[in-house]
Amino acid sequence: QVQLVESGGGLVQAGGSLRLSCAASGRTFSNYAMGWFRQAPGKERECVAAINWSGGNTYYEDSVKGRFTISRDNAKNTVYLQMNSLIPEDTAVYYCAARNGNYYYTLSQQYVYWGQGTQVTVSS
């Protein structure tokens, strides 16, 4: 079992930055691929970024490329999402997710463990 706890969400003006953190506990963190998903009201949950177990392979959804950066610190059992140049369309609940595997994964059904989510609101 893996427990995931997100933090770092909040209210920010357009153009601002936030860094989300997801702390994992319960199993060997370095065995797990990690993903950041978001879900806005009335929309499906989408993967915005994903990272493999070592951090050597990453994925970004097109709308966040060049603005968001996913990273991980296996010594701290934590994955991060640095979000810069935020726009109102980034407003959503952000979730981190984990699964055992060697690569990165971009579909929600591919993940086994989920955090409780953290709200990000970007005002115009």
DSSP 8-class letter at 124: -
pLDDT at 103 over 80: yes
pLDDT at 26 over 90: no
In the sheet with 18-25, reading across from the earlier edge strand, the strands are 3-7, 18-25, 78-83, 68-73
Percent above pLDDT 70 for the chain: 100
Q: What is the mean pLDDT of residues 53-67?
A: 97
CA nearest neighbour of 77 among 123, 113, 39, 117: 113
pLDDT at 11 over 90: yes
pLDDT at 6 over 80: yes
User: Quick one: pLDDT at residue 1?
Assistant: 83
